[in-house]
Structure formats: structure tokens, C-alpha cells
Amino acid sequence: MDLVLFDLDNTLIAGDSDFEWAQFLIAKGVLDRALYEARNIEFYEQYKAGTLDIDVFLDFQLQPLAHHPRRVLDAWLGEFMTRHILPMLGAKARALVRQHRESGALCAIVTATNSFVTAPLVRELGIAHLIATIPAQENGQFTGQPRGTPSFREGKVTRVTEWLEAMGLWWGSFERSWFYSDSQNDLPLLSRVSNPVAVDPDPTLRARAEASGWPVLSLLG
């Protein structure tokens, strides 16, 4: 059996769901534009530059979840998925996921974006496993804090390892392993698999892929 891992934002979808979720809440008037928009853009630029402090960002990103009832958040999320995220999911990405699923590989999405925002899209793709940053809950209400290790940079390797161990598996259980990603932030996990693939990569990842002989793939269009 093979192991196939997919990054989500700017890899399987042509955009960043973390960034777009905050922009969606700003557009709805849920978040104050004057207070949130500039910070949202700043965090996104830090992410792209590889300088993001994940703890500071998660405090910004998860706190709004704690201020609204779950039923309201679920309704907003449904609207967000339909109007903003599903249009970013192209035919090439769907075909790539379907190819690996039909091969019998163990597949998972591995994303820094929180599981509340990303779970509906993972279900849409028919992938059974999601490794994401976990927003803590108490009795169904979000606390505004993360739980456990954020699924970011080296944390992705940690979280995937823990996930495999929970199923009685380890990296050596697989003849081949893939990870598809666009971002330099994912170099730790890309370096861990036997078949790293750069997907519409940022300049830093493209340079690493070319130097290392990794395949470079585009899922756009």
C-alpha cells in the first residue's frame, strides 16, 4: 500500500482557505474591516515568506470562532464553501485525488488551516482522513485556542507520524509515499516522503524542487 498526502491551500484549491475565511467574515460584517483586514493580509504575506509565527496567527484566526454559536458558524461555513471554496477546486485536482484513491492508497489532507474550515472540502473530495490544526472545543463551543500540535511546518511531520501510529502504522509500512504541496513551509514533510511533488510552487520551493529533481506539477486550469 502507498501513502499519499495532499496539502490543501494553493495546492488542491487555487487559493488559501484560511485567508479567504477571514475575508468572508469581514465582508459579512462579522469582523471589523478596519481591525482585521490589514492583519489578515499581513499574516498571509508572512506565511508566503516563510516567516509566520503560527501561535500568533492562530490567536488571530481562532478567536472569532469563540464568539458565535456553533449553529451560526456552521451556516456561515456552508455559505463559504459553496460560494468561495468549491469554485477554487478544479478538475485537475479532483482527478489527481481520484487517481490515488482508486489505486488503493491511504490518502490524507495535511493542512495548517483549522479542521472546522477544511473538513467540508475533504468530505467533498471523498478523502477519509484530515490532519489539520484542531480548534479546541468545550461542549461544542469553540474556545478560541488550538488543541495539540498545530499542523504547520515541522508540526505536519509530527502530526502525520502520530496519525500513523494511532492506526498501528509507521512510515516504513508503505512502499512509497507522496506529498503534494505548493509551499516552502512544507519542506519538512516534503523531505520526509519518498515522492515529494511541488504543485504550482512558490519560488523557494521551486528552486528546491529543481535542485533536488522533484517533479513540478500544475493543477491550475
Q: 213 in the Ramachandran plot: left (φ > 0), alpha (ψ -120 to 50) or beta?
A: left
Q: Which CATH class is domain 3-217?
A: alpha beta
Q: Which three cell numbers stand for residue 150?
A: 498545530
Residue in the structure block whose three cell numbers are 484566526: 61
> At residue 131, what are phi and psi to the nearest 5 degrees?
-115, 105
Enter the pTM of the model. Answer: 0.96
The identity of residue 43, as a single letter, is F
Q: Cα–Cα distances in Å, from 97 out to 42, 103, 138, 178, 192?
A: 32, 10, 34, 12, 20
Exactly one of 2, 7, 74, 186 is catalytic; name it.
Answer: 7
**Number of Cβ atoms within 10 Å of the Cβ of 135:** 20
Cβ pair 135, 116 in contact under 8 A:
yes
pLDDT of residue 211: 98
Measured from the Cβ of residue 17, the count of other Cβ atoms closer than 10 Å reads 23
Which parts of the chain have pLDDT scores under 70? none
8 Å CB contact between 39 and 61 = no
Q: At 114, list the grid cell.
A: 483549522
Task: Return the pLDDT at 132.
Answer: 98
How many whole angstroms separate alpha carbon 80 and alpha carbon 209?
33
- Is 2 designated active site? no
- Nearest one of 144, 135, 21, 141 to 70, comparing CA atoms: 141
Q: What is the pLDDT of residues 46-80, one digit of tens each?
A: 999 999 999 999 999 999 999 999 999 999 999 99
Q: Is 7 an annotated catalytic residue?
A: yes
Domain spans of the chain? 3-217
Extract long-range pairs of 119-125: CB within 8 Å, 24+ residues apart. 120/77, 120/78, 120/81, 120/85, 121/8, 121/13, 121/17, 121/81, 121/85, 121/86, 121/89, 124/81, 124/86, 124/89, 125/12, 125/89, 125/94, 125/97
